[in-house]
Structure 1
Amino acid sequence: MTTEELEQLLAQQPIALLHRLARGRIQRHFRAGKRRLIEVLLRHSAENRAGFESDLMTLIGEQQARPVPPPQQAPAARKPKPSAPHRRPAHKPVEQDSHEPAITLSSWLEGLGVPPPQTFVPDAWQEDAIAKLRESDVVVSVPTGSGKTYVAVEAARRAIAENRTVIYTSPLKALSNTKYTEFSKIFGPDQVGILTGDRRDNGQAPLLIMTTEILRNLLYDAGGGEIDVRLDTLGLVILDESQYIADPERGVVWEETIIFCPSQARLLLLSASIGNPHDIAEWLTSIRPTPCHLIRHSTRTVPLRAGYLHPNGKLTPLFRTVGIPHGHPGHLHPEAKRLFLQYEDETLPSGRRR
């Protein structure tokens, strides 16, 4: 088989088969794309072309021998049930206004802004999360603004005091830069470093901020035999915005980071919107040497308020009440209704207005 024929045959195969062929031949082959993987395999095949072609044909034969699942048959069509005759309502239901007076704009804005200084008292779930990190991994699933960062800071403070390295990951470089600035003020600039695709500062600091991809690559390199003292002393890995594990494109980065994380390090996963925290905690328990504890808290520390800002700059509460009504009809604020109608009159053709 000529080199050109071998290249064409490799190009016709799925990338999963190429990775199987590269096992034991190429280090860190899982980091290469298909085109790059084919180039490296071709160079490697020159050392033992006969053995390489034999392994390739064996893998192709195994793949072709796999049984093809039979096509699923469409379910038989069900006979439609006769529907009851449609009765037209005698009148269109009208939303009745609440007898309670609508809140004023000043009352709606009351309490917004920076609160006065007061002694901070951690919530019970925060203390529980920090305590559980001594003996297990922890998944924290709480609403935005509830205090996830406090758990991360206190856990990092304890690990640094024990001369352990702490790695804090985020999905975005911009968020990594923000956390670098925030943590530098808390721990001191000499205690915090940052590693991203285009920025490397104080890379030997005890607390390192980086994107999740950077940590995954460090773990890849360690798996290939490259020694990194930061991983030898690693005591805590904080994965912020861990709901990205469900992302169809980037989720594999979070999965591999968790799988390759050193066993002596504790994992702390933080998220405000992860959909299945119980499943994530059970999965971590099944693949890690330590159990995983789930901390779940559903009450918002900072309640939400809904308002409407008209293009002309007019601001009004969206509902009659201060908060967002849940579990019962939320009547719109009269001023919000008026502004909605005004916006329709200004933007929609007359035939489409309600």
Structure 2
Amino acid sequence: MAVEEVVADFADAFPFERFNKMQSAALPALLNREDNVVVSAPTASGKTALAELAICKTLAAGGTALFLAPLRALTNEKESEWERFEEMGYSVYVVTGERDLSPRRAERADILVMTPEKADSATRKHDTPRYSFITDVDCCVIDEVHLLDSDRRGAVLEVTVSRLRRLCDPRVVALSATMPNIRDVADWLDAPDETTFAFGDEYRPVPLNADVKTYSHGENAFADKYRRLYRALDLAEPHIRDEGQSLVFVSSRQDTVQAAKKARDELTERDIPMGARGDYDFHTDAAELSNDTLRQSVLDGVGFHHAGLSREDKNRVERWFKEGKIQLLFSTSTLAWGVNLPARCVVIRDTKLHDPLEGEVDMSPLDVLQMLGRAGRPGYDDMGYAWVVCDRSDADKYRRLLRDGKEIESRLAAELDAHLNAEIALGTIGDVDDVMDWLETTFYYARAQSAPEEYDAGSDLRERVSATLSELVADGFVEQDGLRIEPTRLGHLASKFYLRLETARRFADLAERCEAETGAEAGTGDGSAAIDADDLLRTVAGATEFDSVSARSDEQDAVNAVLGSEEDELDAGQRKVLAILRSGMTGTTPTELKSDAWVIRQNALRLLAALREFLDNLAPARFANLACRVEARVEHGISADAVGLTAIDGVGSGRANKLAAKGLRSPADVLKTGVSGLESAGLSEGVAEQVVANARDLPVVVVDWGEFPETIAPGDRELCEVTVANNGGGARAGLRVTVNGREMTAKPSYLGQTTLPVAVFGADADELTFTVEVTFPNRPLPPVTQSRTVRIR
């Protein structure tokens, strides 16, 4: 069907002139009806055009469309692709965690592009002015809805779509690769038979020949990688010799680089003619690549692609592969979900991968099918060839996957307590009846109806949810009064930070210990140690989110070198997390731990931010301040005495270390030394001026002791007033007065000027040391303390 005839007003939105057979079959359901639509079709059959048709119908009616993309990288691609809509006068706005949100732009957007995680966050905060735009969505397009079956992300997608339907009931258009149980998804979304389409392999633009090849497994994992690489090259070689292209998927970014290096040598030895070293223009273009290894590799017709490359390098690799200048491309699985980059031959070299949080895991069946679906170039190939290279013991498993496909399952059951708590915290569930109403909006419920024996559910599903609710009440996340239910402060905090509930309980327990601590830093007076930075790190390292972290044998010596070899309550994987965090605070992470350190540190920073807020809500302010300083040290790798510098806007680890090396330790030091002093420390004049200006925005504490006595007689009592003032930027603070290390008074304050009553009394001691402490719970500034000593005469 001709695009011009079907959507004349939006013809410019499509990069082709005619819809293909699959698109034409689904067209009437998308354009002539208002029902929800579910479409499963082979990879590369043109599902994106269906998303665009649904968007066009929404725009024509003056509505707002939301496109849920499975990966953050794809949201950026859609922004680029959909400049076509911008040129037609419509606004496209991408909302991701890596960009500052402009509520005004989001509210005015005609097309919103988000990941499920960001949409989850937005729907949780829909009643705030910042995220109110999410309730204006008229049509929600779910790209790759089979991600419902993803262990890590499926439940988020499921509850987000269910919540969005409860909030504003948009039309839902769900697109998927081929899945056997499409009817379950249609039942979940209330899509009738007339708008549910299961397009089979006959709709593939290029037929697919997919099979499994095994290799001889050895004792050495490193050598096994090369055995699989040679197997992959054996499979790719005939296609490369025939001027076809091959795409080989490996498990990690580093593996794409190493495999490309080794493949170049092997292809040269096999005397396979490829590469474009005689192409002067290509040679000139390749010189612009920022990655040195890639620059050398592409000239031999071999490339690699992963999320760590610059966007410009990735774009060039994709373009050169499409143009045939790169004949062999090594990539991670990200490419399979994103760019439409087919090849005549696709080989999955690695079916297992190392996950820093999970250890060695099997590649998701969804990823495997998605990667294999990239085989076959429409318009160029008569057949696509796809291979899984695996150990003999796994061969039958992958053959079944290729033969039968993968039914889509709900992953909500494993996280039912956390998601139910989130709905209660949001207020979308207010009584017991609402719990069951919510349950019936989930894919979990729909799937359990069609396969009750697999879900151990059926008629018992309600009992299971009721038991989960009872556990939430018993654990302090929810309060129940008859049929009425409402969240506790703990429940709100767990929901706000997306915590597993065992972790939230662990954080609350630490806050209770902090609340109970009444002594000075040296101890509580009952023989137990005061809570310090290591307690916070241990609390985070022991979080449920890190339960699956494993420590390889070569890492354990490095862990012991950081922590010592004494026994403690943490298991080996959690000790590895603790070692990464503790060494990361000083920027001295051992080489053996660096491969996993970045991922573990990023997850730990999220948990430390959550712990800081738990302590801010449930414990005295000084503990939230301690968490804030620990968080900044883990993030920046800076010493304890210089961490306060990172409170200054624009001062990260590099500048903080540079200033600390010159003896500057705090924002007050920065203000005292001024612009000239910062220039002497190595900052440029412009940067120095900005750092000083930003330092002025931070609080400057001044303590006025007034008429405070120097001596007092035994038995006498004198009530004094101590004034704490702030001569800098406003800030929330915790004020505390101690005498000889025992707390007399403590209170929170938005620090402008505050008067603290202090009772001076003649005691049995020879002298009394009164200390005023000011801490900032949400800034990494060290506590400000001043003391006065009163002698007993």
Task: State the structure with bigger RCO (CA 8 A, min sep 6), 1 or 2.
Answer: 1
Larger radius of gyration: 2
Which structure has the highest helix share of the two? 2
- Taking structure 2 as the reference length, what is the TM-score of the superposition? 0.23
